[in-house]
Every structure is written in structure tokens, then in C-alpha cells.
Structure 1
Amino acid sequence: MKKHVLALTIGALLSAPQAFAQDSQTQGEVTAAQVEQLLEQMQQLQQRVAELEQQLAQQQAGAETQQEASEATTAVVAAEPRTAPVVRQRDSNNRELRARLERLEEEVDAAQNAPIEIGGAVRAQYVWEDYNDGNKDRGGDFDFDLLRIDFRGEIGDVILSAQYRWFQYMESVQHAWVGYNFDENWQGQLGITKVPFGVTPYNSNSYFFSTNFYVGLEDDHDAGVKLRYRDPEWDFDIAFFKNDESGGVDGFTSAREDRYAYDPLGVRLSDEGIYDTPTLQVAEANSFAARVARKYALSDDSSFEWGLSGQFGQMNDGVDNVGDRYALAAHGVYSIDRWTFTGQFTQYEYDMDMANEGIVVGAYAFYDTIPAKADLYNFNIAYSLPVQLGPITNLTFYNDYNVMTNKTGDLEDTVMNVLGVAVSAGGLYTYFDLVTAKNQPFAGGTLAGNSSDYNTRFNINIGYYF
């Protein structure tokens, strides 16, 4: 009789949390508070079950002692119908209890979402420019650069990655995509995702990227779908982009030039200035991109990679296709010990249906102009030095050299050399860059310029990344 009461008690203990879980499922998604309450009830339940099992064991031991004390054969025979049902009932209750506990744990696990990590950065910078008399006379300027927020994580095998940036003069999305790992090699991405092209993740070491960035061919992100393959020997990416990250010509944005990376936004007509808002607006449409890279592990401390990249797409004015564009690149990376050497050759062309003075591009809240066709070369060298200087743990010394030549219109070449060092100290990552350049944006020039004079800019960008 007592054992039947005990079994009923276990059932009663189980009923409350199980009803709670059923109510939660009926109402929809389980909240964090409900999950915490469930876990507390499970712990109390498991403790109570242990106590009940101990009592059952003691009662069984007492019954077995009484059974051994009986010398009559009839008592032994009589004990069988009394003892066996009780033991079987106890085992059945235990199995049922464990099964219910397992189901409850599964429900709790299913209710708990994997966390989405939130990170970001805060940056400021000091700038000294020899081509800006006011800045030079003041001894340079120190300004806020940006605040950015990153989201990354995975819920139910679906990946999220997004980044949004706020500047003093604009705000923009850098990327925002969802993804899925089909297996250990293949991943799909959908949304505003990085265009696969050239040396990755960056074709540069400095804060200023390479000249490729200013024609939209480094760290560019557009809206579309991408398939990636990775293994120790091969990288392969293929992607289709419906339009740029702002929705193309008729995208819902108040200022098309407010964006993180450069995109073509118009056609520069003959009576317009280099920095003017374009009269004829255009945008990328229905673009394809592919990148392949072969990787070699030469030794424990050396490796080599070569690769090819290509892009092709249409240019649309909001009604009709008014031209095509393409870009090709051959690239390589060689690393040995603490040294890294990178090189890339790039060629691009915009074939427009109308006469033009170049292509209008936009980013960082202003318009600029690039040649409709050009070749680009860049050669970079970097040396990474681990140190222990207070909070400083690493110094990366580098020199990035860029040339843009064979421009349409017989324009002067663009040349940019960046000599610098990047300093790692906890969450701080700081670039010290000395830029010497001609016809280079953010160094007193434009890619559509025709100057033979070099400018100098000294830049310190201080970022705290979390």
C-alpha cells in the first residue's frame, strides 16, 4: 500500500512541471524566465526522486530481511506474489520518471536559443595633411570616426551576420546576411553579403585599403545570394547580386552616396564636375561574381595561395539597361614565418551606351568620379612582431604600394604608397599610416584627376573593438 502511495506521489510531482511545459508550448515560444523556472523545478524533482528511491530501497531491504528470517517453504513461496509486483511497479515508475525527465530536458533545450553575440567598435582619428593649409597650420585635427554594432550567431542552424555603422555625417549598413552550413565545406549566404573578389579578406594592410577599394573592388557588399566552399586546399565562391546594398537606382534611401563601400551611381556627363551629383543616375543590376583560390602548405611556417576572380553585370538607369561592366583579377599571397607578401593585378571596364567622362561613384556621403576603364597593380609586404610592452601584444609593420594606370582619357596615373604600423593592445587596434599619393581619394586627389604632384597625409586611427 505504501509503495502505491509512493508511485502516486512521484506522478504528482511530475504533473506540475509537465503541465507547465505543455502550457508554454501552447502559448508559443518559451521565455527566459519560464526556462529558468523549469530548470529549478527539474532540480527539485530530481532531488525528491532520489529521496523516494532511497526510501523504496530501505523498504525492500526490510522486506528481504523478513523473507530470510522465515524458514517455512510456504512463506518463501507466498512471498513471490507479494514482492514481485512491488519491485516491478517500482522499476516501471522509475523508468517512467526517467523518460519524463528526459522529455522535459529536451523541451528545455529546444526552448533555449543559441545566443546572438553583439560586438562592435568605437573609433577616432588624428589627421595631418600637407595639402590642406588650415589643417597644416593647426597641427592637424582629431575627430570622431565611427560607432559600429555587429551581430553574429546562430539559431536553429541558421547563421546571422550583420554590421551597422554611424559616422558624424552619415550612417550605413556594412553587411547583413543569413546563412546555412550544408556541410563542413559548403555554406550559403543570402542578403547584403561580401562580393568575392581578389585577395581576401582585404587586399591591403593599412587603414586606407588599396586603390581597388575606391573603384568598388575591395571589401564591397551587395544584395544577393552566395555559395562558398572551403577546404585546406581550395576556396571557391560563386554569387549572384540583384543590385547594390541600397536597392539600386530606385532604392528606398534618402541619399545614395551614404554608403560604406564605393558603387557606381551615375554616368559623368561632359558638362558636370568631378564631384557633382550625377544628372544620369545608374546602378549595378543582375551581377555575377566568382572567385577561386588554390592554397599550398609549404611547411610548418610557410604557405602560398594563388587565385583568379571575375565579375560581370549590367548597368541600369531605373528603366532600361544602359551598359555593361566587368572586372578581372589575378592574385597571390605568400607567407613565411612572420612575413606576408601579397600582390594583385586588376582590370575593369564600364561599357556604356552613351558618351561619358567617366563613372560616378559614391561613398562616405560624397560623389566622386573614376575612369570608365583602368588597370590596377598593388604589392604589399607586412611583418608581424609579437611584443610585451605593457598592454601592447603585437606590432604589424607594413608597406602597401598601389598604381592605377591605362585610364581612359589618357589621365595621369594614380599612385599611392602607405607606410605604417598597426598596434594591438587589448581591445585597441591602432593604425599609424604615412600616405604619399597623387590622384588618390582621401589624399587630396581623385582617380579622375590629372595631377603630377604628390600629397602627404599622416593618419592615426584608434579603434576599440569589442
Structure 2
Amino acid sequence: MKRTIIAVSVAAALTLPTALAQTNERSSAEELQQLLNQIEQLKQRVLDLEQRVAQEDSSSEPVDEDQQEEFAPRREVKSSALAARVERLEEDLENAENDPIRIGGAVRTQYVWEDYNDPIKDRGGDFDFDLIRLDYSGEIGDVVLSAQYRWFQYMDVVQHAWVGYNFTENWQGQLGVTKVPFGNTPYNSNSYFFSSNFYVGLEDDHDMGAKMRYRDADWDFDIAFFKSDELGGADGLATNKSDRYAYDAVGLRVAGEGTYDNPAALAAETNSWAVRGVRKWTMDELSSAEFGASLQWGDMNDGIDNVGERSAWAVHGLYNYDRWTFMGQVSQYDYDMDVSDIGIVVGAYNYFDTIPSKATLYTANIAYSMPVKWGPVTNLTFYNDFSLMTDKRLYTEDTLMNVLGFAVAAGGLYTYFDLVTARNQPFVGGSMSGDAKDTNTRFNINIGYYF
């Protein structure tokens, strides 16, 4: 009877790993706790059985030394087998706790008031749905995955989607729709509106290609090659070239076309390179700084032939002191096209705009982060972001944007409150190629729940 009990316990130990392997990788915390309890129960059963076997041996009839030598290895084998199965259970439990792929996302809504839009102004602003997004990230061994998909009212887009490999502790390769290394990262801004660099394709842009990243305590290096933009270039299969998250060139603006017209002459990025290097310093526990430079260059293609070249450069820096952050950047881009044009057509957010074919941009930002304990509110970040775009080829009036605001962190909620004053700035009543002399004002609240 006692031998039967041991056999049943061994069988249970053998079947538990199989059941655990069939458990969904994304087990809840309650299910993982149940597995822990099962392991503890199994350990206790093994201990109880070993004690009962020992009692049986001491109370049974004496055996000779040969029999003792024969039975001892058998008991050791049984004990070792049970211990090995317990160890396998613990390994399977650890794998279940460390999910290789994680799913997150956000849901955002937005309130808008604009002094340049009379209907919105008269009704006291609009409160609308902004987006739903899903994020996928994780590692399986040294293979890395990162992707994000966004749904708006008017379009749905891939923000990024790449697979990577950690070659060493410092070097990582990425392949897919990956971020173009350029300027201050991850953003050259603090507000919901980014800086003016975003609207000419020089901030938080993602294209289709391959990238190598190096990171250590003192240096950041990136080198990347992009075959095309995220929609496949001028001859890509996307039905609408303006349905994308970040701005890219999609055509030439020729004489007689309107600022927001669909491009008649196609032109898109192809065979582009990007290089970025940053030196980092940590002065003490309160202060740190970084300074770097970025460079981009590549061809412009109409789907059949190359029709020009593009280039961009930037110098950028960031300084942190205690709760303060200071950020600055100077950047310039140039589209050298073979065909006469009055600007470059860019597409994003389901509409086309026009930017000058060459311009210089300056940004200067300041932010202060203040931890608080106001119910669910844990942090307030106050900021002012300033952007200026000058030397616009064929256009005389500068583009400027100043965003004065603050962000509130409360659990999963993150909310931007932005007061934007701008001239010739997209989403604030203008265009990067505009020649307006007056400024516009927009008050914006973006409420996001991130999970």
C-alpha cells in the first residue's frame, strides 16, 4: 500500500510539468500563485513519504547488509527523481512568470479650442476621440520584438514594427519599421505637439530599414539604412500616402497647385542613411548632460527613377539638473530636386501639406518635474517648448511655435494641458510653407489612459 502511494505521487509529479506547459503563457497572478501552492504541496508530500518510508524500514524485520546495499540506491533514485521533477516545476513556473511578449496600449481623448476656427470658438471648443493603440514588446532569448498600431477616427497606421537581436550587452540590431536616429531622443520636445521638426520629418520618424545601436555609460551610436518610408515609397501599395503617423515626403509641389492638394508629381525617400552620435556625462547625483550630432542623406525617387537627393544635419544637447531639464537643437534639411518646384509635399494624419524644400530649425525647451501626492496624482511636469523655422526657400515668413503647458501623471492616466501660440504651423491654423504674419492660438487637453 505504501509503495502504491509513492507510485501515485511520482505519477502526479510527472504529469504536473505537462499541465503547466499547456497553461497559457499569460497566466494571471492568481493562477501563478496556485502553481506555487502546488509546488509547496508536492514538496511536503515528498518529505512525508520519505519519513514514512524511513519509519517502515526501521519497524520492519532486519535485513542483511547485501539487501541494505540493494535497497539504498533505489530509495536514492526515487528521491532524486522527485526532486528533479520539483525543480522542473519551478523552472516552468519561472518561465510562466516572465512573459516573453507583453501587450500594452493607450486610449486617448482630446479637448480643443481654437481662436482661428469660428465654429469651434463659438461653441466653446470640441471634445473628441483621439486614438486607440496597441503595443507589443518583449524578448525571447536575445531576440527582441517591438510594434505599435494606432486607430484614429480617420485612419489606422503602423507606428513602428521591428524585430531585433542583442549581439552583445552594448550592440543591438533592428530590422523593420524602426525609428530614424536623429536629434534629441526619444523626443526633441516635452508637449503633446512635439517640435516643428516633427512636421518636416525630423522628429520621431519611422522608416523601413535596418539599424545598429550602441549604448554604454558614455556614448550612444546609431547607424541605419532605410530602403524606403514605412509605406514602401512612391510605388508602395498603400491606397492613401497620407495615412501615416509621422511626416514623410511624398511628392513635389509644382506651380498652380494648392498647399494641401494631392501631389501631381510623386517623389519619396529611398536608399537613405542616418548616423547619430552622442557623448554623455554624469557630473554628480543631481546633474547630467549629453551633446551630439546627427546626419541623414539619401535619394528621392518617383517610383521609376531617382529625381533628386535629400540631406539633413543637426547638433543637439540636453542638460538635467535635479528636477530641471534643458533641451536645445539646431537642424537643417535640403531637398535638391531635378525638377523645378515650389516646395515638397509631405503626408501624415490623412492630409497633405507643403514644406519649403530647404529650411533651418531651432528649438529650445525647458521642463520641471514635480513629484506630488494629491490622491491619484503622483507627478506634475511643467514645460515650455519653443520652435523657430527660418531661411525657408521661396518663402519669406518664418514658422514659429511656442507651447506652454503641463502634464499630469495619475496612475495609468497621463494628461497634457497645452496652450499653443504659433504662426505658419500645422494643426495651429497654418502650414510650414505659409507666409502669414499673425499668430494663432490653440488650447488643447489630451487625456490618455496607458496600460
TM-score using structure 1 length: 0.87
Give 1:296 deviation, angstroms.
0.8
- Aligned partners of 1:190 and 1:226 also within 8 Å: yes
In structure 2, the gaps of 5 or more residues are none
- Aligned residue number for residue 324 of structure 1: 309
Q: Which of 108-117 and 129-138 deviates more?
A: 108-117
- Aligned partners of 2:13 and 2:85 also within 8 Å: no
Report the CA distance shift for 1:46/1:427 in structure 2 as closer, same or farther (over 3 A): closer
Distance between the aligned counterparts of 1:111 and 1:140, measured in 2? 48
Residue 422 (structure 2) pairs with residue 430 (structure 1): no
Pairing partner for 2:201 from 216, 219, 225: 216
Specify the structure having the higher radius of gyration (Cα): 1
Give 1:107 deviation, angstroms.
6.7
Give 1:292 deviation, angstroms.
0.9
- Aligned partners of 1:17 and 1:38 also within 8 Å: no
- Aligned residue number for residue 146 of structure 1: 131
Report the CA distance shift for 1:83/1:394 in structure 2 as closer, same or farther (over 3 A): closer
Report the CA distance shift for 1:42/1:303 in structure 2 as closer, same or farther (over 3 A): closer
Distance between the aligned counterparts of 2:123 and 2:88, measured in 1? 70
**Identity rate, percent:** 62
Amino acid at match of 1:227: M
Give 1:295 deviation, angstroms.
0.8
Amino acid at match of 1:399: N
- Aligned partners of 1:411 and 1:448 also within 8 Å: no
Amino acid at match of 2:57: Q
Pairing partner for 2:51 from 44, 49, 54: 54
Report the CA distance shift for 1:245/1:20 in structure 2 as closer, same or farther (over 3 A): same
Residue 164 (structure 2) pairs with residue 179 (structure 1): yes
Give 1:21 deviation, angstroms.
6.7
1:26-175 correspondence runs (5 A): 30-32=22-24, 46=43, 48-62=45-59, 79-99=64-84, 101-102=86-87, 114-175=99-160
In structure 2, the residue corresponding to 1:87 is in which secondary structure?
A: helix
Report the CA distance shift for 1:92/1:292 in structure 2 as closer, same or farther (over 3 A): same
Q: Deviations over 1:36-71 (max 9, x none)?
A: 8999987776555434322221133336xx76xxxx
Q: Deviations over 1:310-334 (max 9, x none)?
A: 1111111111111111110000011
- Aligned residue number for residue 348 of structure 1: 333
Amino acid at match of 2:47: A
Distance between the aligned counterparts of 1:112 and 1:399, measured in 2? 42
Report the CA distance shift for 1:321/1:17 in structure 2 as closer, same or farther (over 3 A): farther
Q: Which of 79-88 and 448-457 deviates more?
A: 79-88
Amino acid at match of 1:325: R
Distance between the aligned counterparts of 1:165 and 1:179, measured in 2? 21
- Aligned partners of 1:328 and 1:348 also within 8 Å: yes
Q: Deviations over 1:271-294 (max 9, x none)?
A: 211111001112111111111111
Distance between the aligned counterparts of 1:391 and 1:43, measured in 2? 37
Distance between the aligned counterparts of 1:204 and 1:333, measured in 2? 11
Amino acid at match of 2:139: E
- Aligned partners of 1:113 and 1:156 also within 8 Å: no
In structure 1, the gaps of 5 or more residues are 68-77
Distance between the aligned counterparts of 1:411 and 1:242, measured in 2? 34
Distance between the aligned counterparts of 1:101 and 1:245, measured in 2? 49
Report the CA distance shift for 1:92/1:149 in structure 2 as closer, same or farther (over 3 A): closer
- Aligned residue number for residue 384 of structure 1: 369
Give 1:194 deviation, angstroms.
1.0
In structure 1, the residue corresponding to 2:282 is in which secondary structure?
A: strand
Amino acid at match of 2:444: N
In structure 1, the residue corresponding to 2:345 is in which secondary structure?
A: strand
Report the CA distance shift for 1:196/1:99 in structure 2 as closer, same or farther (over 3 A): same
1:260-409 correspondence runs (5 A): 260-409=245-394
Amino acid at match of 2:24: A
Amino acid at match of 2:50: E
Report the CA distance shift for 1:38/1:199 in structure 2 as closer, same or farther (over 3 A): closer
- Aligned residue number for residue 72 of structure 1: none
Distance between the aligned counterparts of 1:199 and 1:263, measured in 2? 19
- Aligned residue number for residue 205 of structure 1: 190
Distance between the aligned counterparts of 1:10 and 1:435, measured in 2? 75
Distance between the aligned counterparts of 2:230 and 2:41, measured in 1? 53
Distance between the aligned counterparts of 2:166 and 2:395, measured in 1? 48
Report the CA distance shift for 1:142/1:110 in structure 2 as closer, same or farther (over 3 A): closer
In structure 2, the residue corresponding to 1:299 is in which secondary structure?
A: coil
Q: Deviations over 1:154-184 (max 9, x none)?
A: 2344222211111111111111122222232
Give 1:426 deviation, angstroms.
2.1
Amino acid at match of 1:286: N
- Aligned residue number for residue 411 of structure 1: 396
In structure 1, the residue corresponding to 2:65 is in which secondary structure?
A: helix
Distance between the aligned counterparts of 1:219 and 1:353, measured in 2? 28
Report the CA distance shift for 1:403/1:13 in structure 2 as closer, same or farther (over 3 A): same
Report the CA distance shift for 1:39/1:394 in structure 2 as closer, same or farther (over 3 A): closer
Give 1:234 deviation, angstroms.
1.0
Give 1:96 deviation, angstroms.
4.0
How many residues matched?
Answer: 445
